[in-house]
């Protein structure tokens, strides 16, 4: 359970920092293509969803 919560927290923190930076492109090199940014965004959104679902699914189990 601890590892699931840690993964969910890490993923949430990354997403909170990633979304404003991606939308404003303030910390991203100008030559980075949008395809790569979409792939990173999708990967971390799915990681957050997976971490939350995996942690929630483990509640009440030993």
pTM above 0.75, yes or no: no
Q: Which two tokens stand for residue 53?
A: 């679902």
For the chain, how many structural domains are there in total? 1
Q: Whole-angstrom Cα distance, residue 47 to residue 4?
A: 11
Nearest to 45, CA basis, from 11, 21, 22: 11
**What is the C-alpha to C-alpha distance for residues 55 and 7, in angstroms, rounded to an integer?**
9
Residues sharing a CB contact under 8 Å with residue 40, sequence separation 6 or more, in sequence order: 18, 22
Q: Show the domain range for 35.
A: 1-60
Mean pLDDT by 10 residues, the chain (62 residues): 81 88 86 92 87 72 54
pLDDT the model gives residue 60:
54
For residues 18 and 41, the answer to whether their CB atoms sit within 8 Å is: yes
């Amino acid at each position: 359970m601890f590892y699931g919560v840690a993964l969910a927290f890490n993923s949430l923190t990354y997403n909170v920092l990633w979304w404003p930076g991606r939308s404003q492109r303030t910390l991203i090199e100008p030559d980075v293509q949008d395809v790569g940014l979409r792939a990173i965004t999708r990967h971390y959104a799915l990681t957050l969803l997976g971490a939350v679902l995996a942690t929630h699914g483990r509640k009440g189990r030993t």
